[in-house]
Chain A
Amino acid sequence: MSSGDLPATINSGKNEFLRHIVLGAAALAMIYPLLWMFLSSFKPDELIFSDPTSLPTSFGLDNYYKGWTALRESFTTFYLNSFIVSVLAVIGNLLACSLTAFAFARLEFWGRKFWFAMMMGTLMLPYHVTLVPQYVLFLKFGWVNSFLPLIVPKFLAVDAFFIFLMVQFFRGIPREIDEAAIMDGCGPWRIYWKIMLPLSTPVLATAAIFSFIWTYDDFLGPLIYLNDIKTYTVPLALRAFVDSSGGESLYGALFAMSALSLVPVFIVFLAFQRLIIRGVALGALKR
């Protein structure tokens, strides 16, 4: 497809122009579904279907009001639930994963290589394997229908990917810094808290962003553990909405709530675009 404008001659004006046409068309195709959902969320239901390509005549929030209260609980509850779970998951991941990563990157202890290998092993394990026994365990604890099954694992550093990311980063911080601190009588805890963490804001931010987005978007976890509508997170509520609206009568409202549910992730993306894109590139290249 793009072989025609492969660079035999570099960046002649014509090539540059062609490239922008290809890229512009691709970008438009990519973004069109999102744009369409957003615009449709302002249109009355009939117009979404009869005249799908037109622009909305006004930006009234009717669909948003309708959607917000369409289920037995309002979306206020669902957003609150989602944010409680996501924020606690972020805190848990940052604390537990950085503690673990610090031990692997900086401390000497018996069996370090063995535990590190175990940690890397868990990276490969598909979630399916632990799904059923974890459910049975949390059921026995009486944790079903609470947020605990979604949060507690994060405080126990179950997301090995973040540990790995942080170990990589910590190893890049010059050892002279902690050696100087040890001379000054700092123990491991102070080195971790006062030196490592402040120097690691880029990797902590990356981990925070991805763990927020993944937890906020998570569907399987809430689907299994949250059955009471009062505990629903936003994705579960959307799914309930799809099931309840069934036909096309409430499509405008459904689009409004769907579009709205993307807003938090979108804001995070706008605010931390560089960090996110670098995280994607790094996480991979460094393996």
Chain B
Amino acid sequence: MQFRALWRTTTFRLTVLYGLLFALGTLALLGMVYVQSAVFLTRRVDGILKTEAAGLARSPRPGLRQRVKEELLLNGDRTNIFALFAPDGTWIAGNLGAMPSGLRVDGAPLEIPSTPSFPASARIIARRLPSGEVLVVGRDVSQLQEMRAIVGSALILSGVSILLVGLACGTALGIGPLKRLQSLQAAARDIARGDLTRRMPAGRRGDELDMLATTINHMMDEVERLMSEVKGATETIAHDLLTPLSRAAIQLRRLQQSPSADPEELAHVTTGLNELLDRFHAILRIAELDARQRRAGFARVDLAQVIAPIEDLYQPLAEAGGVRLLTDRGPPALVEADPKLLFEAVCNLVDNAIKFAGGGSTVRVRLGPDPAAPRIIVQDDGPGIAADKRAAVLQRFYRADRHRPIPGSGLGLSVVAAIVRLHGFELTLEDADPGLRAVIDCRAHSA
């Protein structure tokens, strides 16, 4: 995985930014502790030095040399400096060999490194005595310096480690989303290359990437359905439309060659061509329904009213086919719909049921029992449709049994599906055992 790719991920950048801010905060805190403690300790040392120097300076001159020696004996010459210098800087007494350069008499305290006579770094001050001699008092401050060094290294170490931890966390946190993004990209590339069955990997966490993947997958389902419909339609046009067209062409050619046109044969050609026109109309109708955004004809309608005319309209057809048609309107069920379109959908379902259930069967049209979940149910006890073919029959042109001589465009169910889609309803085909149950679920979905 490339760092640049990782760097571009939001997670990585945010984590590193947080790490950086945290490191800066910690550095500021430690820096404050360091400065405060160092200053406090230094001032304390300086105060002690001033008090000692003032005390010694008040001692009578003749005994001063002896006082210096006594002080060294009393306080220890390893941790304290006491020294006396002549006005010209010549050593008189004490454990400091020479006046350190840079030490200003009656000036500010000075920190000096270890010397052969005092093997530790020390903080010293110089006071001029009334005699003109110079008194130097000092203290070992190596502990103070060690403390400073410890705090300083703690500062650096903690800053660096926080930065490293930030980077590591950023990388760890960034790699996950980056890997998922890359797998999404890979899936998208496969789809772009034409593999419409490929889907985005979606986890169960339901985070933003999963939501995106799920949305894209829904979209791909629809695209795949449309593509397979287009493919199916193209293939079917080749079979279903070309066959009657070429048949008509042959018939017309024969008529052209014959000396007198047989009206029977002419009627035959006309029937064939009219069926073709009907088929084209159905294709256009589905396209129109699918493209339609307007819901101009929509109103609150009672499903019982919608299915009421079915019996009058289809009873003769059912009788002619030896099918028993029963309608049970049930209680009123109100839905938001275009009643004419919904009626057309039900007509198509009833027409199909009568056509495919066959003689001796019963077709029932009824509403679902629950008015809160309004449904239109068209059920027959005919041969039904095999479970694996129920989805296929909703595709354009599909006919479950192509070899049965049943008239029709093969588009009836597609028209139903398009009308149902327009309403945001749901069409399901179920096994009625025996027979087929077509259900239009009229609960408002996503329309």
Q: Do the two chains bind?
A: no
